[in-house]
Structure 1
């Protein structure tokens, strides 16, 4: 009987449906976005030495970039819902083909919303800088501060902490700037200005982008 049981166990071990499934790498949620950017680059080969905006939906929805910065070769490489780590992972496909003189990154609020700590977001930013430096050593880099959106007012303290950390880190890195859009987007009581956002209270409206344009323009010269 014992021998029969051993034989049965050995046979069952080779039944395919009883074998554990091989671990599969998670699908890249940004695959379609990145492929679309590459298709654009293939259809119209990117010029070199321009300015690349990369980041989450605040960049993606900035559809007036070219009009807002006339005379400057700007490229929009925003993909909604992304974190800093996503921009770093795809930098070779988002940034490198353009060999830009300046890379502006907006990300961080999704990171905090998804559970990243201010310290982790700071480290993610430093990793982004390191990656861009590997790809385009001479490019300047600017971080657009995490914006204070009314929809995420519960994260204001974490946003302040993260912005301070990244500002300090940027000051120690060569060719890296921190652009404070956070403070001008607060009202006299220190609360997010609702007049700068669309109905979802998360994304910028035209007035919000006009404010960003005024604050960012000096860094593009």
Structure 2
């Protein structure tokens, strides 16, 4: 996984850029990394953007200790990753295992804090993986709901489909893979609602 090294080194310095102690960490692949308005969108939750482009869930689990070593007061982690694993020919069951290894890493370091997994999105570029995406989401959601333990599943899949049940191009950049501003704004609405319920608990 040496190709992630420069990105991980960048993240190891992220805490130094912030004038506050982050509480909510956003972790995962380019859906997080390219979210230009993330700090503004979630400012009430004291966010930190710890996404690294092209990352997989296996890489997120592998680099967790390094990326999070500088943080002491995290009380919630939001995770988006998994579609890159599928495009790299990983099986849904492998993604499942990587995610729950990541959950264990988080709770070993921070205790039983809230950990939220965002379902894998449908995208025009990777529509050929759609059945695997749906199956991966299904087995992860089922396990999270059975465990509790402050694990949460936020399902965004249907929100990004058009009336023909295909990926809605309005939400994606021209590459058919990454969210544009409209796509991120839709995700923001869903996550602010979710995070607000966690704060109220």
Normalised to the residue count of structure 1, the TM-score between the two structures is 0.83
Unaligned runs of 5+ in 1: 1-26
**Cα shift at 1:203:** 0.3
Q: Distance in 1 between matches of 2:14 and 2:185?
A: 27
Q: Which residue of 2 aligns with 1:134?
A: 108
Q: Which residue of 1 aligns with 2:46?
A: 73
1:86 aligns with 2:59: yes
Q: Which residue of 2 aligns with 1:119?
A: 93
**Pairing partner for 2:70 from 64, 76, 97:** 97
**Cα shift at 1:72:** 1.9
Q: Which residue of 2 aligns with 1:145?
A: 119
2:116·2:154 contact (CA, 8 Å) conserved in 1? Answer: yes
Secondary structure (helix, strand or coil) at the match of 1:198 reads: coil
1:206 aligns with 2:156: no
Unaligned runs of 5+ in 2: 197-201
Greater Cα radius of gyration, structure 1 or 2: 1
Q: Distance in 1 between matches of 2:60 and 2:103?
A: 10
**Cα shift at 1:75:** 0.4
Normalised to the residue count of structure 2, the TM-score between the two structures is 0.91
How big is the alpha-carbon RMSD for the aligned residues of Structure 1 and Structure 2? 1.6
Q: Which residue of 1 aligns with 2:199?
A: none
Moved over 6 A (4+): none
Q: Which residue of 1 aligns with 2:162?
A: 187
Cα displacement string for residues 52-73 of structure 1 (whole angstroms, at most 9, x for unaligned residues): 0000011000010122123220
1:55·1:83 contact (CA, 8 Å) conserved in 2? Answer: yes
Q: Which residue of 2 aligns with 1:5?
A: none
Number of aligned pairs?
194
Secondary structure (helix, strand or coil) at the match of 1:30 reads: helix
Q: Which residue of 2 aligns with 1:163?
A: 137
